[in-house]
Amino acid sequence: MDAMRDDIPEWLGPPPPRDTAAWRRWLARWQNYALEQLGDVDALNPEMEFGLLSPRERRARRLASEIEQHLLAGLAGDELVLHLDVGERDVVHASAQAWLTGRAVFSHIPSQVAQRLDPWLDRHATPARVAVARAIHEGLLAGLRGMACEEPAGLMPSSAYAAAWAVGNAKAIEADPRG
C-alpha cells in the first residue's frame, strides 16, 4: 500500500494482513471510527484503500482518475465536461489538459473550445500544473507507442503520467492488428 495516514488511533493498532478475519474485524472498527469521528467517507471506498491513504496519496489517486476519465472522453470525441465544483483547481486544470490531449490525438480541437479554454489554462498555469500537463502528454504518447512506463519525479506528475500511460497503452493494445 502507498503512504498510510498518520492519524490512526493507537488503540486500533496497525492493520493486520489483508483478506483475513482479523483484517475484516479491524476494518469494521476503523470504518466506524473514521466515519463517526473523522467524517471520512473514503473509509467505505476500496479504491481509496478505505481511507487509509494519506491525504496526498488520495489526492493523487483522484487526479489519476480524473485524467483517465477526461483522456478517454477526449479520445472518443466527447464534449468537454469540467466539474468546477470539485474545489481543486489543480484537478480541473489537469482534467482540461487531459481532454485536450486526448482530443488532439485523433481529431482537431474545435476552435471555439480552444478559444475559451486556452486563456483559462494559461491564466491558471503554475509550475506544478505545467509538470502535470507535460506528464499527461508524455504518458499518453509513451503508452500509445508501446514504450515502457517511466514515471517522472514527484507524486502528482507521476500519478498523471501513469494514468495517461495506462490509457495510451490500452488504446495501443486495442488497435494492435496482432490481436
Please give the backbone phi and psi of residue 53, each rounded to the nearest 5 degrees, phi first.
-75, 155
pLDDT band at 136 (very low <50, low <70, confident <90, very high): very high
Shared domain for 77 and 109, answered yes or no, is yes
Residue 151 lies in a domain: yes
Query: Could you tell me if residue 5 is inside a domain?
Result: no
Please give the sequence-ordered ranges of beta strands (E in DSSP) within 39-157, or none if there are none.
none
Residues 36 and 76 in one domain: no
Neighbours of 128 (CB within 10 A): 13
Confirm whether pTM is higher than 0.95. no
Contacts 24+ apart (CB under 8 A), 69-72: 69/95, 69/98, 70/94, 70/95, 70/96, 70/98, 70/99, 70/102, 71/98, 71/99, 71/101, 71/102, 71/136, 71/140, 71/163, 71/164, 71/167, 72/102, 72/167
Please indicate, yes or no, if residue 4 is contained in any of the structural domains. Answer: no
> 61 and 41 in one domain?
no
pLDDT per position as a tens digit, 25-43: 999 999 999 999 999 898 9
Overall domain count for the chain: 2
Residue 126 in contact with residue 105, Cβ under 8 Å?
A: no
pLDDT at 54: 86
Do both 61 and 29 map to the same domain?
Answer: no
Please indicate, yes or no, whether residues 65 and 36 belong to a single structural domain of this protein. Answer: no
For residue 154, the enclosing domain spans 57-175
Q: Are residues 69 and 118 in the same domain?
A: yes
